[in-house]
A and B are shown apart, each in its own frame.
Chain A
Amino acid sequence: MGEVKEVSVGDIGSRAAEADPEFKAETMALNVGPSHPSTHGVLRLMMQLDGDLIKECEPVIGYLHRGDEKIAENMTYNQFIPYTDRLDYLAPLSNNVAYAMAVEKLANLEVPDRCQAIRVICCELARISSHLLGVGVYGMDAGSWTVFMYTFTEREKLYTLFEELTGARFTTSYTRIGGVARDIPDGWLGRVDTFCKGVLPILNQVDKMLTRNRIFMDRTVGIGVISKEKALSYGMTGPNLRAAGVDLDLRKDKPYLGYENYDFEVPIGLNGDCYDRYLMRAEEIKQSVGIIRQVIGSFPEGPYYAEDAKKIFAPPKDKILTSMEELIQNFMLVTEGPQMPKGEVYFEAENPKGSLGFYVVSKGGGVPYRMKIRGPSFCNLSILSELLPGHFLTDITVILGSLDFVMGECDR
């Protein structure tokens, strides 16, 4: 009779293998992606597996690198706006706003109240859109297809609203430096309000399907735990950082666009696991709905672009065709670009995925000398090589889904 070994059920294989080298199996190399449904884009993971336990993981990125920063250095500030759509392409409106605000900071420009209100609605609708996708796809990754169908129905309604406002469903390019492209259409606020009324019952449905769902909880609770210190050290931001228990929301801490005037709560997680990250997003949608309702309730009158942005903001088309001064102004804008002062600014906005930052170095003139884009997904993903080892292969889909990243912003 040989010795009897005790092997606890929780960590099959790994502890046994450590205890007795005879058990040690050869590790296997596994490659996931770059084109794989659970990587939500073109992320590639190169892993070493011991059985189905992940030993090592090396994320490979760059498959969607388009050189946005190089492009930005070669075109005028206004021309770059459409490129910002393609950063976090699940929330293009809030990217537009973040970029416009970074350049406005450089130009020392204040936008009027009505423009700010429009932008807040845009940002929050984008947040709802992004989180609906985040929660829906996450549910699907964990095995609940139904949630995805519910949230995508709501996103479809959002796209209709975006189309009405901006003319495009996906790549909105809506903001301009110093304002927005056009005023809101008649009755649009009413339709936004109707959407807000409609999305809350859907959230309750999602809540019923996921929050106390045995399968979903088994797959997410205690999985992919990121401690507060780790999250900070890796420079994580947004819901992923807040799920780890750090109270950082730039809308509260560094208010922009008049966020200080609205009453909303910032949810903070306790454990920093996959389950918390789901709860974070579900709650943030509700808070965003609350913010939008407050904006609609006190929607200011006035111009939708800054009057003193004459040298930056393209004049209305009918004026260009009939008035000499506007024609010259438009000509100068197209040929020379908006003239900016010398200086360096760094502006971050609280986007759905985290803090999207623009660092603009200007030597004067119409073209930025250097523009650095800080994509939150880039930082959020950098933790993967430390987070994944120790988990099982099946946890990958859940952990990736819970981090809710988008490769357009990661690779830029």
Chain B
Amino acid sequence: MNYWKEFRKGIWERNPQLVVGLAFCPTLAVSTSVSNALWMTLAASFVLIWSNILISSVRKVVAKHLRIPIFITIIATFVTVVDLLLNAYRPDVYKSLGIFIPLIVVNCIILGRAEEFASKNGVLVSILDGLGMGIGFGLTLVVLAVAREILGANKLFGYTLIPGMKPAAAMIMAPGAFFALALMLWGMNAINARKKRK
């Protein structure tokens, strides 16, 4: 087992959003500011890594036809943990992420990794896989959020960039999210197509 390869693949070659095409809902909805994007990355990665650990350690006990309900229950348990932790220690973050915290349950990346990877591989390599996928997910999310926050609010990490300049408010709204992600996907396709031609 090549540990480095399993860790690395989620960041670029098999990036969850840009290559595989999963988890567009949280990516679009939460990328309104960089701090939201970072917190979402932390929350989703926490759930992803812990569910990978638990699922890969029970993979030999779980009956095959019952695996999906069991995986969903495990994932929902860790989502509840994140939900309670954020509500207790960072109520401001909890409020601004809103329903997208409970919706981590239906984030296709997590169930996808459980089904495709953690249910077939050992604990250590599953942790690395979860870590890589979490970083890949977060990278796309943060890049999108930086672009949207600069253009849509004239801010970065909440600090105003150019005083007195009016931002393009549509970028912080839904339409801007769709356009910005479309451009990112376009760029990714172009890079991959150029690589293939070589």
Q: Do A and B come from one complex?
A: no
